């Protein structure tokens, strides 16, 4: 949430920052800004996208080789030019970009107001800029870095900040607590950013900052310490990111590209792990803790948004095959509700970004209560992946579309492998079924390809329903979470109100909504629930609802009964979520595009929610 990029070196800073901001725009896109050092610090800020900022600076002096930039997802104060970052302190001694939330900003602001400080924005960030300046001015001996440390010691909340001092324009000062920052190490130049995407084309060497780290970055060197001024050991890591992953290629949108990538990304997720020849599954990141997971009394899976939906599928699979009690919790609820946890519990966090604030907080709470904490993350080097004892990377590659697609299928792939692995270890699955499921999983990429080939037909269906105001999604068993995910996709990117429901619950409320205007998307492949879901379809039909059914290829019965069918290849029910979700992603995508929505950057949303 919000993107930060900073540069210090000999190159022109403006193109580096603008390109970096474009890469970061998926994190927030309501306003953008730059601070460039060029005989003083010059600020350029605009409401809107990075392209608006480019137009704004077209006739301005943008020289300089040190600077910071920011793309914002508003928390305090509406998106406008004034609230855009960077923020300067009252006497322009400091300029700062900030991700996160300063929770005690109101108290700090009141104190500063009493000391004569004035504020031009509604942001918590300007409070921090003024607080740094206040400490700086207390004594002529106080350096910019010391003032930053003093100010941060007063802050309650989360921050990833980069600061420029007017008196010490030869350095950037960055610090982190709760909001990610990564330092890129070049030759005679350094980069600092909220993720590696603006850095990848310049260097492969990075240092991920940990909470309470502070780094002073000069052109020729950097110093890493903590905010209490103690040295911190530097761990330089190799960046594992291809620049091509950050481009749309020939696709109109990142979301479509990412949907189309799924045959490959699912295969990447199980590559080297799923071993059909040897009838085995190897999850390298869990080997050391496998006995603890196998002996766990309970598994709790936490996540937010799409990751939470993947977690629900994990619950159904693990309970079915490994016979371990599983609970799935919204991280935002779990972290605050004082749950009962012990060292016999295993808490698995699922997060594409590995940076979601609620998930990190829930995880830390579980760790304090003694549970074994594990991560299923997509972003290598992310906070969750570093803070968990062990885990599994999903290997879906960079996901840029705000609405998650390929990360979801990768998460479900990992959870399916985990369920089967545990079942094998616990002896709760027969050899034959185990090997059937391993080969079923290995056929998924080819099957996903055939669904994607059907995408023009899905677009035709989208045309029929593009003007809907509401939509209902129904599913049963493993496909109930898929119905939730289908509804979320439609809601996120088309702004059509959509609800996902367990089909059996329909008669307890949602059926009241059914009339001849309501599209009802029913996930109805031929599985054990088929007859039951056919009954649900009949109940909707009897009330004149329009039904779009996701069906098994060749299902003539449902084809005659419903308005539109989206076919998926036949599969074992345990792997059906990986197929059934694809037409729902494409349906939401086409409806949103037909409605003229910005599918990659839907309004009010952000890809990585690093604030509460």
- Residues with catalytic roles: 2, 607
Contacting residues for 25 by C-beta, under 8 A, at least 6 apart: 3, 32, 49, 50, 71, 601
Q: Which residue, 351 or 571, has its beta carbon nearer to ligand G6P?
A: 351
Pairing of strands 3-8, 190-193: antiparallel
Q: What residues from 332 to 391 belong to the interface with ligand G6P (CB under 6 A)?
A: 351-353, 356, 359
Q: Does 404 bind ligand G6P (CB under 6 A)?
A: yes
Length of the chain equals 612
CA angle 301, 302, 303 (to 5 degrees): 130
Max Cα–Cα distance, the chain, nearest Å: 83
Q: Which residue, 482 or 520, has its beta carbon nearer to ligand G6P?
A: 482
Q: Does 494 bind ligand G6P (CB under 6 A)?
A: no
Kindly tell me which residue out of 71, 405, 571, 608 binds ligand G6P, with binding defined by CB under 6 A: 608
CA angle 73, 206, 49 (to 5 degrees): 25
Q: Which residue, 83 or 307, has its beta carbon nearer to ligand G6P?
A: 307
User: How far is the C-alpha of 525 from the C-alpha of 534, rounded, in Å?
Assistant: 10
Q: At what angle do helices 406-426 and 305-322 cross, to 10 degrees?
A: 20
Strand, helix or coil for residue 17: helix
Give me the least distance between CB of 499 and ligand G6P, in Å please. 18
274 has which bridge partners?
281
Q: What residues from 246 to 305 belong to the interface with ligand G6P (CB under 6 A)?
A: 304-305
Give me the least distance between CB of 399 and ligand G6P, in Å please. 8
Q: Which residue, 89 or 351, has its beta carbon nearer to ligand G6P?
A: 351
CA 601 to centroid of chain Cα atoms? 13
Residues in contact with ligand G6P, shown as a per-residue x/- string from 499 to 538 under the rule CB under 6 A: ----------------------------------------
Q: Which residue, 240 or 342, has its beta carbon nearer to ligand G6P?
A: 240
Print the SS3 string covering 441-475. Answer: HHCHHHHHHHHHHCHHHHHHHHHHHCCCCEEEEEE
Closest C-alpha to 95, from 65, 61, 124, 132: 132
Give me the least distance between CB of 315 and ligand G6P, in Å please. 17
Question: Residue with CB nearest ligand G6P?
Answer: 305
Q: Which residue, 233 or 604, has its beta carbon nearer to ligand G6P?
A: 604
Strand, helix or coil for residue 149: helix
Give me the least distance between CB of 353 and ligand G6P, in Å please. 3
Give me the least distance between CB of 408 and ligand G6P, in Å please. 8
Give me the least distance between CB of 387 and ligand G6P, in Å please. 14
Pairing of strands 546-552, 519-523: parallel
Kindly tell me which residue out of 307, 405, 546, 552 binds ligand G6P, with binding defined by CB under 6 A: 307
User: How far is the C-alpha of 603 from the C-alpha of 243, rounded, in Å?
Assistant: 27
Query: Binders of ligand G6P: how many residues, by CB under 6 A?
Result: 16
Q: Which residues bind ligand G6P (CB under 6 A)?
A: 304-307, 351-353, 356, 359, 402-404, 605, 607-609
């Amino acid at each position: 949430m919000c993107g930060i990029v900073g540069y210090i070196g000999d190159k022109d800073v403006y193109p580096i920052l603008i390109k970096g901001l474009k890469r970061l725009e998926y994190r927030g896109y309501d306003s953008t800004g730059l601070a460039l050092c060029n005989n003083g610090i010059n600020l350029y800020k605009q409401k809107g996208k990075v392209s608006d900022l480019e137009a704004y600076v077209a006739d301005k002096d943008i020289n300089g080789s040190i600077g910071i930039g920011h793309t914002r997802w508003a928390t305090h104060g509406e998106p406008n030019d004034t609230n855009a970052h960077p923020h300067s302190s009252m006497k322009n001694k400091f300029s700062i970009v900030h991700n996160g939330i300063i929770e005690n900003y109101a108290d700090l602001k009141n104190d500063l107001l009493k000391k004569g400080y004035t504020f031009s924005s509604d942001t918590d960030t300007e409070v921090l800029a003024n607080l740094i300046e206040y400490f700086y001015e207390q004594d002529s001996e106080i350096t910019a870095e010391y003032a930053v440390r003093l100010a941060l010691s007063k802050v309650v909340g989360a921050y990833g900040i980069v600061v420029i001092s007017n008196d010490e324009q030869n350095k950037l000062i960055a610090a982190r607590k709760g909001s990610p920052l990564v330092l890129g190490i070049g030759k005679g130049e350094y980069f600092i950013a909220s993720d590696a995407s603006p850095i990848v084309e310049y260097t492969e060497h990075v240092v991920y900052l940990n909470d309470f780290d502070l780094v002073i970055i000069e052109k020729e060197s950097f110093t890493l310490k903590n905010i209490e001024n103690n040295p911190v050991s530097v761990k330089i890591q190799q960046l594992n990111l291809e620049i091509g992953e950050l481009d749309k290629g020939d696709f109109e949108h990142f979301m479509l590209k990412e949907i189309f990538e799924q045959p490959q990304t699912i295969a990447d997720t199980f590559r080297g792990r799923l071993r059909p020849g040897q009838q085995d599954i190897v999850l390298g990141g869990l080997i050391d803790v496998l006995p603890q997971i196998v002996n766990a009394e309970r598994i709790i899976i936490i996540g937010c948004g799409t990751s939470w939906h993947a977690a629900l599928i994990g619950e159904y699979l693990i309970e079915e095959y490994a016979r371990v009690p599983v609970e799935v919790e919204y991280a935002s609820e779990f972290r605050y509700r004082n749950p009962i946890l012990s060292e016999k519990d295993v808490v698995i966090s699922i997060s594409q970004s590995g940076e979601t604030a609620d998930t990190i907080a829930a995880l830390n709470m579980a760790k304090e209560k003694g549970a074994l904490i594990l991560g299923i993350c997509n972003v290598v080097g992310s906070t969750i992946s570093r803070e968990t004892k062990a885990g599994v990377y999903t290997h879906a590659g960079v996901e840029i579309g705000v609405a998650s697609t390929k990360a979801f299928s990768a998460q479900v792939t990992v959870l399916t492998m985990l369920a089967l692995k545990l079942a094998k270890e616990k002896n709760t699955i027969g050899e034959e079924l185990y090997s059937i499921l391993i080969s079923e999983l290995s056929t998924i990429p080819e099957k996903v390809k055939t669904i994607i080939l059907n995408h023009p037909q899905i677009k035709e269906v989208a045309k029929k329903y593009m003007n809907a105001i509401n939509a209902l999604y129904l599913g049963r068993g493993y496909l109930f979470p898929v119905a939730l995910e289908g509804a979320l996709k439609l809601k996120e990117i088309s702004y059509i109100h959509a609800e996902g429901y367990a089909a059996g619950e329909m008669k307890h409320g949602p059926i009241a909504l059914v009339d001849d205007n309501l599209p009802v998307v029913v996930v109805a492949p031929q599985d054990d629930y088929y007859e039951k879901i056919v009954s649900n379809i009949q109940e909707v039909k009897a009330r004149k609802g329009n039904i779009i059914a996701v069906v098994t290829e060749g299902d003539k019965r449902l084809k005659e009964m419903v308005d539109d069918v989206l076919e998926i290849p036949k599969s074992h029910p345990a792997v059906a979520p990986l197929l059934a979700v694809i037409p729902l992603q494409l349906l939401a995508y086409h409806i949103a595009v037909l409605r003229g929505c910005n599918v990659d950057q839907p309004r009010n949303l952000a890809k990585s929610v690093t604030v509460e």
